[in-house]
Structure 1
Amino acid sequence: MSSVSQTNRPVQAEAGAVPLAAEEAAEVEPQPAAAPTPPPFVPMHPARAASYMLASLILALTQGLGMNLINANIPQLQGAIGATTNEATWMVAAYMAPNVSLAVALIKIRNQYGLRNFAEISILGFVVACFLNLFISDLSSAMVVRFMSGIAASPISSLGFLYMLEPFPPAKKMQIGLPIALTNISLAAPLARVISPGLLDIQGFHSLTTLEVALAFVALCLVYLLPLSQPQPRAKVIRKTDLISYAFLAMGFGSVAVVLVLGRFYWWFEAPWLGALLAFGIACVTVMVAIELNRTNHLIDIRWIVSPPVLHFAAVLLLFRMVLSEQTSGAPGLFQVLGLTNNQMTGLYTVIICGTILGGITCIFAMRFSTERAIHMFALTVVIIGSLMDTQSTSLTRPEQMYLSQGMIAFAGALFLPPAMARGFVAAIAKGPQYILSFIVVFLTTQSLGGLLGSALFGTFITIREKYHSSILVEHLSLTDPLVAQRIAQLGGAYARTLTDRVLQNAEGAVLLSRQATREANVLAYNDAFMLIACLAAAALTALLLHIAYDALRARMTPPVAAEPAVAAA
């Protein structure tokens, strides 16, 4: 690792590094002798502080519901836009393609043009994008509007963070503001499934878009009524090479996001365009890395990102994000296979919401009295227990049997992320303000792309295991087996009033038995997936314990540093 990433001073040109291009060198601006002192914190009136916290909640739900209302209702929306399941999933891909990378650009845009301008223009763009949702009539228009919504929604999540941190003093922003902000963001996915059935009963697809527009207008009013303070003066921080680097980053991350969303629907090895798109995405990210390695004023400090501490931090976030895919793709997928819809799972998602809120509240107190490692150990243990409880699912399992396990996993998810993010953010601040953007990239990649990767791997694993269990079950369904023949006859008897031919009755009975075998194979596949999640969490917990033991052993074996003699007074 180069000495550049090991110092706390601004990044300087390294000896032996590739010389800067002429235009990049011309863009380098002299650094000021001393950073301006931030204005002192002025406590808010409690009512005004509560207003900022409410604005944060509204912004987080506005952005989250805009994304999750579509994701949670793909089967119900197919008819409204005249699309198959695979085609309707393109709406999710169109939304995520620009959304996964925009936070990188927004940091510098905010610093150059001012936080107030950033907030007002962002919310106006979001309102326009939400309003266009009302005019969706087919798949083509839906994809265009969802792409624009993905662009417009990215600043809203940042505003949700900023509004929650605004009323707290600097010492409390990480301890109280951050857990509440992350909890608000986590509430959108289960809340979307709770309110979707009632909305769809009113006016179908357009009820979802109408709610999104209404929330956007409320958020617009709050942003204009409650201005954010500017923590630092504006500065010209956007350079021409930043635009080039970001263009390659956006194309790379967007291509990978599309592949992760659609890969398991078109299947990874059967659609050649998936491989071509993935190769294009990797090539774009590689070009961006090559550009950033040869710059002095980085958009992203690649050397710092690939340092061991940051890689360890990224691995922790990525692993836990994949573990939490059990809640977004596991239980909902299982009950969908069993024929249940969102209105039959309202109670389950209500429990998940309550578990998330309880986890966020617990995290506030835990971050004050416990270490990050202790919190993570407890959260991983809770995930292991919850996942093992879910491995006992059968075709007769209903949401009520998963209230406890899913509530535990939601609790652990809200408890795990804030300490890890706070630690990484503080480490980036200690390295210097220019490292904040690099930290945002690490966090963004592990959460957005990591979430898509977890869902893709989880769904692919379930598909493979379903085929495996289905082949084993079918092997034992022989017509020469008296029990199988009796079962087929019983199932075919349901058609006795409409089919008088005994052969046709048996044929229909065989079809029903095949469907039952497929259902049971799916249940077994989900149980395997739940066990995989428990094993991953157990492996993470073991690695954490070994890391703690290693640090303790190294501290014990390191000789104490001798105190320096006091300097005698002259």
Structure 2
Amino acid sequence: MAAFVMAMASGLGNGLLTVNVTNMAGYIGVYTYEVFLLVAVYVAFNATANLLLVKARVQFGIIPCMHVLLGGVIAAQVLQIAIPSFGLTVLARAMSGIAAGGLTTLTLHNLFQAIPLRHRPAAIVIGFTLPQLAVPVARLIPLDAIAPGEWQGLHLIELALALAAWAIINLVPLPPTERQKAFEPLDALTVSLAVPGMMLLCIVLAEGRFFWWSDTPWIGWALTAALPLLWAVLQIEDRRKRPLLQVHWYANRDIFIFALIGVVFRIALTEQTYAAVGLLSLGGLTSDQLHPLFAMVLIAMIAGVAVTAVVARPHRLFPMSIAAALLIAAGSWIDSNATTQTRPQQLFLSQSLLGFGSILFLGTAIQYGLSRVIERGPPYLVSFVVLFSTTQNLGGLAGSALLGTIQMRRTRFHAERLAENIAMGHGELDARLAQSANLYHDILIDPVQQTAQGNAVFGNALQLQANILAFNDTFRVVTWIALAAAIFLSALIVSKKFFPMKPSTHEARA
């Protein structure tokens, strides 16, 4: 129970924000792109926090660190509830992002106390996959519980979870750990460059499709500033005697492939969080009407946790990743035949496949990465945690950006094609417009107004159909991405078996 509370405290708040991001803007008096800025802030601070958190736990101990982090979260949430403002909401998201990494570690520690040592691999899988359940759980929380009072319910839930986590670490103490000096002066330089670099990159990915990539100069300037900052971080770390990041390790072929497939899988999995929900929203369905769908997804993910905990092993990364990719491809392909009549019940199977596949990949990837850390030693732990959290966080933002961009472009394309096809037969067009106008015959007296309203109804129907076709295209893109990942991994298995490669000089160093 303690582990579950820690897992929900680490991810439920961000899950509630992510799944309700389009609903929040009007309630709190900001534009949609400003709400997406909150997502970018959380991701940026969550991805970079682990640069310091691992060393902080070594030098000060995990419990003192979590007292400070949870204290910051509680203070930020109390301020936001007492003095609501967008600036304080940004602060609260940043604090939540920083604390999430530590709460995931506490989830693991609590599981280690409850599960025998011989089942430690299963505990690792469960510990890292439990926070993933936060998104479907967030989908099951009614809007009425979080929306009133300018979404103060969301902050109250986060505050309650932070207080519960604070109580647990005091009531269920963990065994003491050895402490030793870990921080060095150059760590501050690395972090001071990494945070703004990651922040700028996340803002570009979160906001690019709203302002459009090639139409807004500041997007280009932000990206131009972000890349040199992150490049400088890698250059500094590569030249340090005791670095935070083992940059040369990232050049290892297996680690590079691990990071690559991590990003690809995370991009593919945004089919569920962006495309499927967006499709159903077109039909006028609210979040509360999606509860049965995400109850099924939650059940599938729990089943995935159980199966992965039993069968996942580091040497099975590629075979299990192939299985996960095929499940994701199958689910996306099923969704690609959606129509205006598609409802949540018709997505039960496809979305359950995606939920199960996501856990299947994640659990195995975690075991594989940690096995490589054990081979190298504790100095590589920070590098792995940062690599994994960065690929998952940036992959999620990149996936939403990619699918959102494709959907917007394809909507315009399909709208133009539909209009052209209808216009080719003027008689059919006139008949449809007349039929739409007749809908208002008993409501409006003026024939001109009847025609105007009929044209508007017809235009909305055409735009709806174009959006549906565009979402089907995004589902097909995800299908091909997942299939390409499966083929790539299959080729790697074959090449490793029949054409083993000698490690390069750089890999030997790694």
Please, what TM-score do these two structures have when normalized by structure 1? 0.84
Please, what TM-score do these two structures have when normalized by structure 2? 0.93
1:369, distance to aligned residue in structure 2 (A):
12
1:441, distance to aligned residue in structure 2 (A):
1.8
2:298 corresponds in structure 1 to 353
Instruction: Give the alignment partner of residue 81 of structure 2, picking from 112, 123, 134.
Output: 134
1:436-458 CA-partner distances (Å, limit 9, x unpaired): 11111211121111111111111
1:33-76 CA-partner distances (Å, limit 9, x unpaired): xxxxxxxxxxxxxxxxxxxxx11211111221211212222333
Matches of 1:318 and 1:443, distance apart in 2 = 9
Matches of 1:260 and 1:165, distance apart in 2 = 37
Give the aligned residue type for 1:405.
S
The answer for unaligned runs of 5 or more in structure 2 is 503-510
1:376 corresponds in structure 2 to 321
Query: Which secondary structure does the structure 2 equivalent of 1:394 belong to?
Result: coil
Contact 1:122/1:156 (8 A) holds in 2: no
Instruction: Give the alignment partner of residue 291 of structure 1, picking from 236, 251, 268.
Output: 236
1:235 corresponds in structure 2 to 180
Query: Which secondary structure does the structure 2 equivalent of 1:465 belong to?
Result: helix
1:126, distance to aligned residue in structure 2 (A):
2.4
Change (3 A) 1:122 1:201: closer
1:330, distance to aligned residue in structure 2 (A):
1.5
Once structures 1 and 2 are overlaid, which stretch shifts more, 480-489 or 97-106? 480-489
1:370, distance to aligned residue in structure 2 (A):
8.7
Query: Which secondary structure does the structure 2 equivalent of 1:348 belong to?
Result: helix
- Give the 5 Å matches for 1:10-159: 54-135=1-82, 137-159=84-106
1:120-147 CA-partner distances (Å, limit 9, x unpaired): 3222222223323313534344334333
Runs (4 or more) in structure 1 with deviation over 6 Å come to none
- Give the 5 Å matches for 1:385-534: 385-478=330-423, 481-534=426-479
**1:223 pairs with 2:169:** yes
Change (3 A) 1:551 1:91: closer
Give the aligned residue type for 2:388.
F
Change (3 A) 1:531 1:479: closer
Matches of 1:536 and 1:79, distance apart in 2 = 35
Instruction: Give the alignment partner of residue 553 of structure 1, picking from 467, 481, 498.
Output: 498
1:302 corresponds in structure 2 to 247
Matches of 1:88 and 1:248, distance apart in 2 = 25
Once structures 1 and 2 are overlaid, which stretch shifts more, 357-366 or 111-120? 111-120
Once structures 1 and 2 are overlaid, which stretch shifts more, 360-369 or 534-543? 360-369
1:112, distance to aligned residue in structure 2 (A):
0.8
Contact 1:129/1:149 (8 A) holds in 2: no
Instruction: Give the alignment partner of residue 188 of structure 1, picking from 134, 145, 148.
Output: 134
Contact 2:19/2:273 (8 A) holds in 1: no
Matches of 2:306 and 2:292, distance apart in 1 = 21
Query: Which secondary structure does the structure 2 equivalent of 1:495 belong to?
Result: coil
Contact 2:320/2:360 (8 A) holds in 1: yes
Query: Which secondary structure does the structure 1 equivalent of 2:422 belong to?
Result: coil
CA-based RMSD of the aligned residues comes to 2.2
Change (3 A) 1:348 1:216: same
Give the aligned residue type for 2:19.
A
Higher helix share: 2
Instruction: Give the alignment partner of residue 481 of structure 2, picking from 530, 536, 559.
Output: 536
Q: Percent identity, aligned pairs only? A: 31
Matches of 2:83 and 2:459, distance apart in 1 = 39
Contact 2:304/2:356 (8 A) holds in 1: yes
Give the aligned residue type for 1:85.
T
1:204, distance to aligned residue in structure 2 (A):
5.9
Contact 2:125/2:366 (8 A) holds in 1: no
1:15 corresponds in structure 2 to none
The answer for unaligned runs of 5 or more in structure 1 is 1-53, 559-570
Change (3 A) 1:128 1:246: same
1:465-509 CA-partner distances (Å, limit 9, x unpaired): 111111111212329622221211222222223422223212221
